Amino acid sequence: MSRSARIAGVALAGGILMATAIAIAVDERKQAAPLTPAAVPASSDGLRDELARCRTITMPDSGCDAAWEEHRRRFLGREDQRP
């Protein structure tokens, strides 16, 4: 057997061993739980429900504009100071 054939055989065997080791390592890993958004507790806050609806629509909606403005007002904790 030639030297080149031996080198090729060793490389092939090494590759097969490496692929087997990787396959075993991948199978033994714990399956990660799919990422899910944190459960939002149900509330009687109509603004939260309206904002959830507004996140799903793609067309302009005056009700959504008002809801986002109210959300900004609550978040910033100040009254609207527009002239």
- Asked if 47 contacts 67 with a C-beta cutoff of 8 angstroms, the reply is yes
Average pLDDT, the chain: 80
**Extents of the domains making up the chain:** 1-30, 46-76
Q: What confidence tens digit (pLDDT) does each residue in 14-42 have?
A: 999 999 988 887 766 656 556 555 555 55
Confidence (pTM): 0.41
pLDDT of residue 58: 86
Distance CA 74, CA 30 (A): 42
Neighbours of 66 (CB within 10 A): 13
For residues 39-58, give the mean pLDDT: 78
Question: Is 51 exposed, middle or buried, given 0-12, 13-18 or 19+ CB atoms closer than 10 A?
Answer: middle
pLDDT of residue 10: 93
Residue with tokens 């109509």: 46
